[in-house]
Amino acid sequence: MDGFLQIRSATKMYRTPEGGSIRALDDVTLHIRSNELISLLGPSGCGKTTLLKCIAGFEDLDHGDITLTGQSLTRIPAHRRPFNTVFQNYALFPHLTVERNVAYGLDVAHVERKERTRRVGEALEQVGLAGFGARMPNQLSGGQQQRVAVARSLVLKPKVLLLDEPLSALDRKMRESMQIELKSLQHSVGITFIFVTHDQEEALSMSDRVAVLASGKVQQLASPKEIYDEPQNEFVANFVGTSNIFKGKVIAKEGRTLTLKTANGRELAVASDRFGVGDDACAVLRPEHLKLSGEARDRAIKGTVTQSVFVGSEMHLHVDVGLGRTAVVRHRHNKGSTEAAYGPGADVTLYYTPEAAHVIECKGA
Amino acid sequence: MFERIMSSKGWWRLFQAYGLVFLIFLYLPLALIFVYSFNANPINMAVWTEFTFDWYKTIFFGAGTAGSFDAAFTESPDRIFEVVRNSAIVALSASTISTVIGTATAIAIRRYDFVGKKVYQALLVLPMIVPDIVLGIALLIFFVGAGFELSLLTVIIGHTTFLSSYVFVVVSARLAGMDMSLERASADLGAGPLTTFRRVTLPQIMPGVVGGFLLAFIISLDDVVITYFIAGVGSQTLPLFILAMMRRGLRPQINALAILLLSFTFTVAAIGLYLRSRKS
Ligand SMILES: Nc1ncnc2c1ncn2[C@@H]1O[C@H](COP(=O)(O)OP(=O)(O)O)[C@@H](O)[C@H]1O
Ligand SMILES: [Mg+2]
């Protein structure tokens, strides 16, 4: 394991105004590698910003510690840590020009003028803002302010760049182009980016690895593909992408193939190495793994379409399969074909390959 | 009918007239002493005799230097200079000290959470609404009890106590509009607490600090009630001096002195407004 930035058993409590206390971070352990883009993904209030603040040194942990290449950061104040932050609202200094903003860290470190000018120019160039040096922050668009914030941090050549939902204030088009830019920037400067987001698509598309957080705990740390294909628990399965989750009990096992019996007596075939007869388990099926079929097949699920939503490239069909949940199916339609067959009320049969199903433990099944 | 009046030009005229009357009501007294300060009549200022600068001249050069004014109508320039100097010393020191105290307090209150913060904030604002006469008596009793001899120093200390409240309120208002993450960003970029204060916090709240200082300065400069209680024999300020002059009769030199004080105050206020418009 690469021992670059290690967070061990980090716990952080906040007092609530009512006099109680909440665990914003609950025993978080993460090993972050050098030179990777890692996302902290989770719903609002799950502790992403808190974790970032603890890494940056704006908050102290109640338990646990954070080390950088083996050295504890506990006693090192924020302004001496080799990390820089891009804040959620950018936090550009409104009384300074773009150039002075970017030069701020170098000024404070008493970097000699010639070198300062050179590095500021370089950093502005890097984020595509050469020629904007004389502007004031309020004369820039949101996307440009964002770049200034990135340049202001990168100019100091930090070991780690912390980004707190840096794209959330931008419109969709801008956000998508900034995602690509940030990713390639991370490549070219070759440092670790810790990227906080609540947008799962953003996390999946940009990251080398994703840490999914919920209520102060790490749910899963893995590559985007693994997170999507093999979610570790129900939370991850639901939060990342759309999932059809069917709960049941394993009633038979044949090689890797399990037969899962749901509460209302349906039997589903799924593939897994882990579970044995008698275990409770949940089958996770992504919409794209459920196929529609007109005719009856083995291991098929019968259902009735309740809703069909046209999203351009495909149809999203909501199918009542009598399992307590509606299943979502993606159906590519061909131009000119008769889609009326899959309108609300249509009887359909869904099938899937047992290998496509991912089986996880059920909580409270 | 009513609607016709409402929408007519006449209604608008009435509005304008009202505005004019109100302005006259506000400024007529000031205009009167302005006019009187140029009236040569030494006995009855309300009866115009002729235009003169002499009252202003007597302030700077004394009786007999300008016209044929009897010394009975004027105070000596030395005496005037002394009280103006006293006022300047008090106003400058008190407003400077209270700007430092008020600003520091405002920053601390904004940054830190502690038990009883709300109560503390309320107590800080209270001196602004405590009646001056109560504050004056309280300060006097305190100074006498603590063994202070009444002097310019006691005036400065007394003014500082309530002026700090004013500065606190003005700077707090400015701080409330400041993004707290700016200070965090500064620390993040490697600046220690002092550098952050000098390079980020202070420039951000400067209009508030300057505004608070000027407000404190003007309030200190024309305070009568509180100063009356805590000024010693040798520490008469300009407003107290003018009050004492009035006791001996309404003399035209007072008008000139009042107009000079007014012009100075307006200038200070104008500088304040200018700085404020330039900063934002
Ligand atoms: N200074 C604070 N005082 C009290 N509670 C806080 C404070 N900061 C954050 N919290 C709480 O901690 C939890 C995690 O917050 P945060 O890390 O900001 O979440 P996220 O960034 O994932 O949206 C939330 O429940 C939030 O209300
Ligand atoms: Mg957050």
Q: pLDDT for A189-200, tens place per residue?
A: 999 999 999 999
Task: Identify the three-state secondary structure at position A35.
Answer: coil
A213-270 confidence digits (pLDDT tens): 999 999 999 999 999 999 999 999 999 988 888 888 888 888 888 888 887 777 888 8
- Nearest residue (CA) to ligand 1, atom 19: A45
Best of B188, B197, B205 to disrupt the A interface (most A CBs within 10 Å) is B188
Sorted by where each begins, the domain ranges of chain B are 2-59, 78-249
Tell me: do A306 and A229 sit in the same domain: no
**Residues A208, A303: one domain?**
no
How many distinct structural domains can be found in chain A? 2
Q: What is the largest CA-CA distance in chain A?
A: 77
Q: What is the pLDDT of residue A330?
A: 82
CB A90 within 8 A of CB A102: no
**A17 Cα nearest atom in ligand 1:** 4
Query: How far apart, in whole angstroms, are the C-alpha atoms of residue B150 and residue B143?
Result: 7
Measured from the Cβ of residue B130, the count of other Cβ atoms closer than 10 Å reads 13
**Same domain (yes/no): A93, A155:** yes
3-class DSSP state of B37: coil
Place domain B78-249 in its CATH homologous superfamily.
Answer: MetI-like (1.10.3720.10)
pLDDT band at residue A312 using 50, 70 and 90 as cut-offs: confident
**Least confident segment among A18-32, A133-147, A335-349, B202-216:** A335-349
Helix (H, G, I), strand (E, B) or coil at B8: coil
CB A137 within 8 A of CB A158: no
The range of the structural domain enclosing residue A52 comes to 5-237
Least confident range of A116-130, A163-177, A306-320, B146-160: A306-320
Q: Across the interface, do B184 and A156 touch by the CB < 8 Å criterion? A: no
Chain A residues within 8 A of B191 when measuring between CB atoms: 79, 104-105, 108
Give percent of chain B with pLDDT exceeding 90.
59
Q: How far is B96 from chain A (nearest CA, A)?
A: 25
CA of A24 to the centre of ligand 1 (A): 6
- Give the H/E segment covering residue A154: helix A142-154
Please write the tens of the pLDDT for every residue from B143-157: 999 999 999 999 999
pLDDT band at B73 (very low <50, low <70, confident <90, very high): low
Is residue A316 within 8 A of residue A328, CB to CB? The reply is: yes
CA–CA distance, B196 with B186 (Å, rounded to integer): 6
Q: Answer yes or no: are the C-beta atoms of B177 and B106 closer than 8 Å.
A: no
Q: Count the helix, strand and coil residues of chain A and give each as a percent rounded to the nearest 5.
A: 25, 35, 40
What is the distance of C-alpha A3 from the center of its chain?
Answer: 22
- State residue B86's pLDDT score: 94
List the single best residue of A14, A73, A87, A138 to mutate versus B (max B Cβ within 10 A). A87
Per-residue pLDDT reduced to its tens digit, A266-291: 788 888 888 888 888 888 988 888 88
Of B188, B191, B199, the CB nearest to A85: B188
* Whole-number pLDDT of residue B271: 86
Q: Which of A237, A254, A272 delimits the end of a domain? A: A237
Res B165 pLDDT > 60: yes
Query: If you average pLDDT over residues B235-263, what whole number do you get?
Result: 88
Distances (CA, A) of A319 to A177, A274, A326: 35, 29, 5
What pLDDT, on a 0 to 100 scale, did the predictor assign at position B4?
A: 61
Contacts of A85 in chain B (CB under 8 A): 184-185, 188
Using only C-alpha atoms, chain B has a radius of gyration, in whole angstroms, of 24
The helix or strand, by DSSP H or E, that contains position B207, with its residue range, turns out to be helix B202-221
Token pair for B65: 């230097």
* Per-residue pLDDT tens digits for B192-224: 999 999 999 999 999 899 999 999 999 999 999
Any atom of ligand 1 within 6 Å of the Cβ of A192: no
Q: Residues 6 or more apart from A330 whose CB is under 8 A from it?
A: A287, A288, A290, A314, A315, A316, A317
Residue B46's pLDDT is what?
Answer: 85
B192 contacts in chain A (CB < 8 Å): 79
Higher pLDDT, A265 or B26: B26
* Helix pair B238-247, B252-279: axis angle to 10 deg: 150
Q: Mean pLDDT, chain B, as a whole number?
A: 88
Q: Kindly determine whether residue B190 and residue A105, on different chains, have CB atoms separated by under 8 Å.
A: yes
Highest mean pLDDT among A165-174, B91-100, B174-183, B224-233: B91-100
Strand (E) or helix (H) holding A262:
strand A257-262
DSSP A333: -
Are A170 and A257 in a shared domain?
Answer: no
- pLDDT value, residue A119: 95
Would you call A91 and B184 a contact, using CB atoms and an 8 Å cutoff? Answer: yes
Question: Helix or strand or coil: residue A265?
Answer: coil
Tell me what pLDDT residue B68 has: 56
Cα separation, B220 vs B207, in Å, equals 20
| CB contact at 8 A, A24 and A215 | no
Torsion, CA A95, CA A98, CA A102, CA A104, rounded to 10? -20
Read off the CATH number of the domain in which A73 is found. 3.40.50.300
CB atoms closer than 10 angstroms to residue A40: 30
Q: What is the pLDDT of residue B146?
A: 93
Residue A118 pLDDT more than 80? yes
Among the bound ligands, name the one nearest to the CA of residue A211.
Answer: 1
In angstroms, the Cα distances linking A46 to A43, A212, A350 are 6, 10, 36
Indicate the SS3 state at residue A165: coil
Residue count of chain A: 365
d(CA A225, CA A209) in angstroms, rounded, equals 9
Rg of chain A in Å (alpha carbons): 25
- Do A12 and A5 form a contact (C-beta atoms < 8 A)? no
- Close Cβ partners of B10 (under 8 Å, ≥ 6 residues apart): none
Q: Of A212, A237, A262, which marks where a domain is finished?
A: A237
pLDDT band for A1, please (50, 70, 90 cuts). very low
Q: Which residues have C-beta within 8 Å of that of residue A316, sequence separation ≥ 6?
A: A287, A308, A309, A328, A329, A330, A331
Question: At which of A208, A237, A266 does a domain end?
Answer: A237
pLDDT at residue A346, rounded to an integer = 81
**Binding site membership of A24 for ligand 1 (Cβ less than 6 Å):** yes
Q: How far apart (Å, rounded) are the C-alpha atoms in residues A258 and A357?
A: 11
Examine the pLDDT at A365 and tell me if it is beyond 50. Answer: no
pLDDT for the residue numbered B42: 80
Per-residue pLDDT at A133 exceeds 80? yes
Mean pLDDT of A340-344: 70
Average of pLDDT values for B48-71?
77
Q: What is the pLDDT of residue B147?
A: 92
For a ligand 1 pocket test, name from A46, A165, A212, A215 the mutation site with the most ligand atoms within 8 angstroms of its C-beta: A46
Which tokens is A214 given? 């919920």
Considering the domain architecture, whether residues A247 and A211 belong to the same structural domain is answered as no
Q: Same domain for A25 and A156?
A: yes
Name the residue in chain B with its Cα closest to that of A156.
B189
Q: Which of A79, A109, A156 sits opposite B187 (nearest CB)?
A: A79
Chain-wide mean pLDDT for chain A?
A: 88
Whether residue A126 is found in the same domain as residue A204: yes
Confidence band (pLDDT; 50, 70, 90) for B71?
A: low
Check CB contact of B191 with chain A, cutoff 8 Å.
Answer: yes
The residue of chain B with its CA nearest to that of A103 is B189
Task: Report pLDDT for B67.
Answer: 58
Residue B72, pLDDT > 70, answer no
- Is residue A22 lining ligand 1, measured as CB closer than 6 Å? yes
Q: Which ligand is nearest to the CA of A213?
A: 1
- Number of helical (H) and strand (E) elements in chain A, helices listed first: 8, 20
Whether B18 has a pLDDT exceeding 80, the answer reads yes
- A155 — alpha (psi -120 to 50), left (phi > 0) or beta? alpha
Query: Quick check: B204 and A156 CB within 8 A?
Result: no
The pLDDT of residue B62: 78
Both A203 and A297 in one domain: the answer is no
The DSSP symbol for B76 reads -
Residue A336: per-residue pLDDT = 62
User: A172 exposed, middle or buried (CB, 10 Å; 0-12, 13-18, 19+)?
Assistant: exposed
User: What tokens does B187 get?
Assistant: 């620390």
Cβ atoms within 10 Å, residue B262: 14
Taking CB atoms within 8 Å and a gap of at least 24, the contacts of B190-194 are: B190/A79, B190/A80, B190/A105, B190/A108, B190/A109, B190/A156, B191/A79, B191/A104, B191/A105, B191/A108, B192/A79
Separation of alpha carbons B78 and B71, rounded Å: 13
Q: Confirm or reject: Cβ of A44 under 6 Å from ligand 1.
A: yes
Q: Write out pLDDT tens, residues A20-67.
A: 899 999 999 999 999 999 999 999 999 999 999 999 999 999 999 999
pLDDT tens string A96-106: 999 999 999 99
Same domain as A196, residue A281: no
Report percent pLDDT > 90 for chain A. 53
Q: Could you tell me the sign of the dihedral formed by the alpha carbons of B170, B176, B182, B187, in that order?
A: positive
- CB of A197 shorter than 6 A to ligand 1: no
CB contact under 8 A, B184 and A79: no
Q: Quote the pLDDT of residue A214.
A: 94
CA dihedral sign of residues B249, B254, B258, B261: negative
Beta-bridged to residue A259, according to DSSP, are: A252, A269
Mean pLDDT of B244-267: 88
Does A25 share its domain with A166?
yes
CB atoms within 10 A of CB A315: 19
DSSP designation for B200:
I
Query: Roughly how many angstroms between the first and final C-alpha of chain B, as a whole number?
Result: 47
Most informative mutation of A14, A52, A55, A239 for ligand 1 (most atoms within 8 A of CB): A14
Cα A44 to averaged position of ligand 2 atoms, centre (Å): 7
pLDDT at position A327: 79
Mean pLDDT of B260-265: 92
Q: Is B189 on the interface with A (CB under 8 A)?
A: yes
Tell me: pLDDT of B1 over 60: no
pLDDT digits (tens, 9 = 90+) for B32-56: 999 999 988 888 888 888 888 888 8
A104 has a chain B CB within 8 A of its CB: yes
- Specify the pLDDT at position B66: 54
